[in-house]
Amino acid sequence: SEIPVPTHEGMVFVGWFIDGGLVTDEIITVEEDTVIHAVFEPEAPVIGDINGDGTIGIDDALMLMRYAIGTEGLTDEQIARADINGDGAVDVFDALLALRAALNGEQPPCIKPQNMAGKTEA
């Protein structure tokens, strides 16, 4: 019988683990008693989406600015999405990029040379 792909929030289907190997077809047909496992991996986070709603908005920029000036904390998961310019630090430059993305309707990656004013490549 055909087995459809199961879904799990926050996860991406990779394939089926069958008989010691990975099969990447979304739908498989099983014709005999076989043990199968669905294989998933976490969805890639949206860089700059601090509140986790799937987009970069003004609220994300405000959360970043508050974190950068020390008036608000972020979880480890939020910090992983907060370094928008990829310089290894979460600071006001990231907050400004989030604000620019929110106001211009951009979505990641919004890391562009013109967004890197004041930053130098290492």
pTM for the full predicted model: 0.58
pLDDT recorded at residue 54: 78
Specify the CATH number of the domain 58-116.
1.10.1330
Task: Kindly report, as residue ranges, where domains of CATH 1.10.1330 are found in the chain.
Answer: 58-116
- Angle (CA) 7-11-12 rounded to 5° is 80
Alpha-helix runs per DSSP H in 1-122: 58-68, 76-82, 92-104
Q: Which residue type does 104 have?
A: N
pLDDT bracket for residue 5 (50, 70, 90)? confident
Kindly state the average pLDDT of the residues 5-22: 83
CA distance 14 to 87: 30
pLDDT recorded at residue 70: 96
pLDDT digit string, tens, across residues 39-95: 887 777 788 999 988 788 999 999 999 999 999 999 998 998 999 988 899 999 999
- Angle (CA) 58-67-108 rounded to 5° is 45
- Of 82, 95, 14, 87, the closest CA to residue 48 belongs to 82
